[in-house]
Amino acid sequence: MHEKKNTILVVDDEPSIQKMLGILLDVQNYKIVESLTGKQGVRMAASIKPDLILLDLGLPDMDGKDVIAAIREWSQIPIIVLSACSVDEEIINALNIGANDYVTKPFNVEILLARMNAALRSGAVRENGESELTNGAIRVDLVRHEVFVNNKLTPFTPKEYDLLRYFIVNRGKMLTHREILKSVWGAAHAEDTTYLRVYIGQIREKIEANTSHPKFITTEPGIGYRMESFPSGELMSA
pLDDT for 3: 56
Considering the domain architecture, whether residues 22 and 124 belong to the same structural domain is answered as yes
3 state SS of 99? coil
Structural domain includes residue 234: no
pLDDT for 41: 95
Q: Which residue from 45, 42, 55, 111 is spatially nearest to 84, judged by alpha carbons?
A: 55
pLDDT, one tens digit per residue, over 74-128 is 888 899 998 888 777 888 888 888 888 888 888 888 888 888 887 887 776 666 5
- d(Cα 62, Cα 71) in Å, to the nearest integer? 14
Q: What percent of the chain clears pLDDT 70, i.e. is strictly above it? A: 92
* CB of 189 closer than 8 Å to CB of 181: yes
Which residues are CB-contacts of 15 (< 8 A; sequence separation ≥ 6)? none
**Overall average pLDDT of the 187-191 stretch:** 79
Q: How confident is the model at residue 177 (pLDDT cuts 50, 70, 90)?
A: confident
Considering the domain architecture, whether residues 119 and 149 belong to the same structural domain is answered as no
Stated as kind and residue range, the H or E segment containing 11 is strand 7-11
pLDDT for 203: 96
Considering the domain architecture, whether residues 111 and 28 belong to the same structural domain is answered as yes
Poorest-confidence range of 100-114, 123-137, 143-157, 217-231? 123-137
* Domain count for the chain: 2
More confident residue, 191 or 37: 37
Residue type, 69: A
Whole domain around residue 81: which residue ranges? Answer: 7-128
Structural domain includes residue 232: no
Q: How confident is the model at residue 231 (pLDDT cuts 50, 70, 90)?
A: confident
- Residues facing 139 on adjacent strands: 134, 148
pLDDT for 237: 53
DSSP 157-175: -HHHHHHHHHHHHTTTSEE
More confident residue, 198 or 229: 198
* CB of 8 closer than 8 Å to CB of 32: yes
Considering the domain architecture, whether residues 157 and 210 belong to the same structural domain is answered as yes
* CB of 215 closer than 8 Å to CB of 209: yes
- d(Cα 139, Cα 128) in Å, to the nearest integer? 14
Q: pTM for this one? A: 0.60
